[in-house]
Structure 1
Amino acid sequence: MNENMLKHDWTKEELLAIYNRPLMQLVFDAATVHRQWQKPDEVQISTLLSVKTGGCPEDCSYCGQAARYHTDIKVQALLPTETVLAHAQKAKDAGSSRFCMAAAWREVRDNRDFDRIIDMVKGVNEMGLEVCCTLGMLTESQAQRLQEAGLYAYNHNLDTSEEFYDEIISTRKFDNRLETIKHVRKAGITVCSGGIIGLGETIDDRVSMLRSLANMEKHPESVPINALARVAGTPLADLPRIDIWEMVRTIATARIVMPASMVRLSAGRIEMSEVEQAWCFMAGANSIFTGERQTLLVTPNPGVSEDMQMLKNLGLKAMVLEKKEACAN
């Protein structure tokens, strides 16, 4: 299987037809594609650390880190570099092969905090981990600095469809998301971009979001599929839990249309049973996120030992990086 076999001109009708296949057929088809393109018994363990928490000026309706919402989340300034590197080493020792650093910023600014992020990236890269950041919007020159420091991946989710986007966020536009992804790609950094389901969107919205990703000139190397983690005090706190079969359908569709990508089962796992997560793996998910203190950024998440036991129960194993190419020039 190679890049030339990938399709980049999906129609909405084609994706809807895939999403709406009978469930058993859809999961079988996705599992077949998964086995053709991926190692079906491997799951990448990725650790996500909030290096700067809360106080964000954005108004993302799902996010407890937005300053305008009254939540119980404690604002935390940018962590010291040595603290972050200690977390990264601990994550590596626990079996993670990717370490992601998140800062609750609207956009990166060229200041001392960004200089410290650069130092963190260099340090994690030297550990032999895939290092990922999610810092908000980036300029072309900022993306280049991150690449030169050794950044492997940059996360910037589309969140939802272009059509539904303004219902969820008003402080930036869907095109701003695409612009940052373009800067990341131009700098030679791999792209991590996916979305959230359970925001009140329609099936058409989910399919439209996946179509935006699958029709990029190059598919994102990583596609996180998040279930809404409801945070008290946010506008979406009272929405119902997304049905697990909708999660499975979204993952399966992502796997079929972006077969070479890592499909990451991300936020919302705390509300999923082991059986429900197993269905997601069967449908093509091959990565999970862990976080220290059983949190994923600011929401509850299964613990590392619990995740490792689940993988053992399912006959899966943590992915081990054979060789990580240095990202720095």
Structure 2
Amino acid sequence: MSNWSSLAEKVLTGGDCSNEEAMSILNCPDEELLLLLDGAYQIRRHYYGNKVKLNMIINTKSGLCPEDCGYCSQSVRSSAPIEKYRMMEKDQIVEAAEKAYSLGAGTYCIVASGRGPSKKEIETVVSAVEEIKGKYPMRICACLGLLKSEQADQLKAAGVDRYNHNINTSKSYHEVITTTHTYDDRTETVGRVKDSGMSPCSGVIIGMGETKEDVVMMAKSLRELDADSIPVNFLHAIPGTILENAEPLTPAYCLKVLSLFRFINPSKEIRISGGREVNLRSLQPLGLYAANSIFLGNYLTTEGQATTADHKMIEEMGFVVETAQEQAPVNR
């Protein structure tokens, strides 16, 4: 039996997980799962207490994407029957922010499909963010694809606190998932975000056929990138996408993955993201012992559980929603 509490103490005193220790987390016997989660919770409690951050997404532009990402229903390679539309108007984005704030979301995530934003799309987002910031004490996260330095500076100046651009998988597995951009394209965008002064958000999608070694490398790569927020998505295999027949994950394995990311990135916001309902299933509440953040409501083209169920889950587990006012500024 591994001593997960001792490993947690090692991490809390500044030690790093070795590759061997990281693999032992993913290979943890199911009968030790609660002990592993207890170790992860020691770290989570040290940095975040019993608080849970809530995030909400708005999909401001759907489909019409020229990229060939195998997991994505919005890809040019996908035949999934999703709604497709051009960039929303500013007023629609602002109106959705009001709803997010009313539901307790401390971070509002403005997302658009595509390789990267056009000049007009940047201008729309900038205008919407300036109005939202004048009305609601919320963090704003943008996720608009590959970003140029001047675009990052524009978003920062408008008041965007955080920019999301996921690495999605390991560098060695990246070409299996997409060929229309490189892994380095993604990490360079994260670098531009950091240079602008916005907080970098970058995460992964688990369940795309990668090895456990790949998962360890993802967690360690995000530590090297110094991502402040790490969304951990679990593949929701959508009919019509390249990965529609991917093998499903077990809830126990998903909990081990969340624990791994907490042990390797102890002080960072670990967010249970897309696919949590279909992969963690009835074990969703246990994920909060490792993660300190979740998305409320629906995702980009898939539905989440009701926001009332999320609030109830948090309350019944003895956790407390962190209000927007309590959240510290994230600009670097």
Above 0.5 in TM-score? yes
2:316 is equivalent to residue 316 of structure 1:
no
Distance 1:39 1:322 in 2: 17
Deviation at 1:56, TM superposition (A): 0.3
Distance 1:210 1:314 in 2: 26
Deviation at 1:112, TM superposition (A): 1.7
Listed one character per residue, the Cα deviations across residues 139-185 of structure 1 (whole Å, up to 9, x for unaligned) are 11111111111011111111011111110011010011110000000
CA contact under 8 A between 1:56 and 1:66: conserved in structure 2?
yes
User: In the alignment, what sits opposite 1:25?
Assistant: 35
Give the 3 Å change call, closer, same or farther, for CA 115–328 of structure 1 in structure 2.
Answer: farther
2:243 is equivalent to residue 236 of structure 1:
yes
Deviation at 1:230, TM superposition (A): 1.3
Unaligned runs of at least 5 residues, structure 1: none
Distance 2:75 2:177 in 1: 13
Deviation at 1:313, TM superposition (A): 2.1
Give the 3 Å change call, closer, same or farther, for CA 5–192 of structure 1 in structure 2.
Answer: farther
Match of 1:101, SS?
strand
Distance 1:62 1:309 in 2: 30
CA contact under 8 A between 1:274 and 1:310: conserved in structure 2?
no
Distance 1:192 1:106 in 2: 17
Unaligned runs of at least 5 residues, structure 2: 1-11
Range that drifts further, 120-129 or 31-40? 120-129
Range that drifts further, 263-272 or 314-323? 314-323
Listed one character per residue, the Cα deviations across residues 55-106 of structure 1 (whole Å, up to 9, x for unaligned) are 1000000000012321101211111111111110011011111100110010
- Which of 46, 51, 69 is matched with 1:36 structurally? 46
User: In the alignment, what sits opposite 2:301?
Assistant: 298
Report the AA paired with residue 287 of structure 2: C
| TM-score normalised over the length of structure 1 | 0.90
- Which of 263, 287, 298 is matched with 1:256 structurally? 263
Deviation at 1:240, TM superposition (A): 2.7
Match of 1:136, SS?
coil
Distance 1:303 1:269 in 2: 13
Listed one character per residue, the Cα deviations across residues 198-242 of structure 1 (whole Å, up to 9, x for unaligned) are 1111111111111101123xx211111111011110011122321
Deviation at 1:129, TM superposition (A): 0.6
Distance 2:188 2:196 in 1: 13
CA RMSD of aligned residues (A): 2.2
Alignment length (residue pairs): 318
CA contact under 8 A between 2:250 and 2:279: conserved in structure 1?
no
Distance 2:327 2:101 in 1: 14
Specify which structure has the higher proportion of helix.
2
Aligned identity (percent) is: 29
| TM-score normalised over the length of structure 2 | 0.90
Distance 1:104 1:87 in 2: 18
Distance 1:154 1:30 in 2: 26
